Structure 1
Amino acid sequence: MIKVEKLGVFLSSINAFFTQIDGTDVEIDTPYLNNNNSAIGYDYSGVIKISGPLEGCVYVSAPSTMLREVIRVMGETDSSITMMKDLLGEMANTISGNARTEFGSEFIISPPHIVDSAPNVSYLPRDRQSYITPFTWRGYKAVIGICIA
């Protein structure tokens, strides 16, 4: 299991993503461990598989209402499901790209895979736990899930 101190890179990445959109910081709640039998998530999740010295995945999961608000704040008029999923892919890419800087070039990340709801067992092995970090932007709640060993 990855050390909890290493989670900071993922959290500062999500904060940087939102700060770039409208200058406001996200509120980050206390991370907690969750068993993977019941993954935590919202309407859509952007999942990035990780391989190399660390194996597992990182995901960001958000409700449609939050994704539509981000799209609106960005000045985009198209808030279709396709656009929401693209946005979630961008969030996931931002998080994992910054993580590569922290963990090094042997850290191999896949392109984001967007799934409906929370990631399933094909991403989150049942015999492991995930660090779940809830965060809030403009009153909208979302989570970052990290399952890396």
Structure 2
Amino acid sequence: MIDLNEKDIGVFVAAVERYFHQITATAPMLRSAWLSTADEPLPSHEYTGLIEVSGDFSGNVYFSTGRATIEHLLVAMREPIRDESNLLDAVGEIANTLAGNAREYFGERLVISVPTTLRGPAPALQQRACSHPYVIAIQWQRHEAVLVVNLGRRN
């Protein structure tokens, strides 16, 4: 398995910036980005949208944030805040949009699943598909989120 390169990761960074700017007309601040080490748990928040990836790649991409972030994004999209399932649907849609934007760059070689949504910590988020998953810490207004790109390219 070959880790993604800097240009590949840049596609995901651009997807995050484009998403927030299109939805809210306010760009997020990318607080930091790093390669995770084997001894460090991958970060997550209260709500997570997980996209499994196959094709020429293996692994997953997930977007994770807290309830307040999702509620504020729903308000920005003029969507109602109804219940827990509404929040889970929203975080899944965000993850799907971000992975879909990356698929435009990678093409048919990147096959993405429908989103799986999770509340709270989940063992699936700690399974590593590459030696060093890429973590992008996001701040939008006062809200924190993370995008984890846990992908390897098949030889």
* TM-score (norm. length: structure 2): 0.86
Aligned to 1:31: 33
For residue 141 of structure 1, report the CA deviation from its aligned partner. Answer: 0.8
Given candidates 61, 64, 69, the residue that maps to 1:61 is: 64
> Which moves more between the two structures, 139-148 or 2-11?
2-11
Aligned to 1:14: 16
Kept in 2, the 8 Å contact 1:40–1:118? The answer is no
Count of residue pairs the alignment pairs up: 149
- What RMSD, in angstroms, separates the aligned Cα atoms of the two structures? 2.0
Q: 1:72 to 1:53 in 2, by over 3 A?
A: same
Kept in 1, the 8 Å contact 2:60–2:129? The answer is no
Determine whether 1:101 maps to 2:104: yes
**For each residue in 1:44-90, what CA deviation from the matched residue of structure 2 results, as whole angstroms up to 9, or x when unmatched?**
11110111111111000001111111112222332421111111111
For residue 118 of structure 1, report the CA deviation from its aligned partner. Answer: 4.3
Determine whether 1:133 maps to 2:133: no
> Which moves more between the two structures, 43-52 or 10-19?
10-19
Kept in 2, the 8 Å contact 1:85–1:114? The answer is yes
Q: 1:133 to 1:108 in 2, by over 3 A?
A: same
**For each residue in 1:111-136, what CA deviation from the matched residue of structure 2 results, as whole angstroms up to 9, or x when unmatched?**
01011234524762387331110011
CA distance in 2, matches of 1:10, 1:130: 13
Kept in 2, the 8 Å contact 1:132–1:143? The answer is yes
Kept in 2, the 8 Å contact 1:68–1:79? The answer is no
Aligned to 2:117: 114
Aligned to 2:54: 51
Counterpart of 1:100, as a letter, is: R
Kept in 1, the 8 Å contact 2:129–2:150? The answer is no
Given candidates 39, 44, 51, the residue that maps to 1:41 is: 44
Unmatched runs of 5 consecutive residues or more in structure 2: none
Kept in 2, the 8 Å contact 1:58–1:145? The answer is yes
CA distance in 2, matches of 1:128, 1:119: 20
CA distance in 1, matches of 2:30, 2:68: 19
* TM-score (norm. length: structure 1): 0.89
Q: 1:20 to 1:122 in 2, by over 3 A?
A: closer
Kept in 1, the 8 Å contact 2:42–2:125? The answer is no
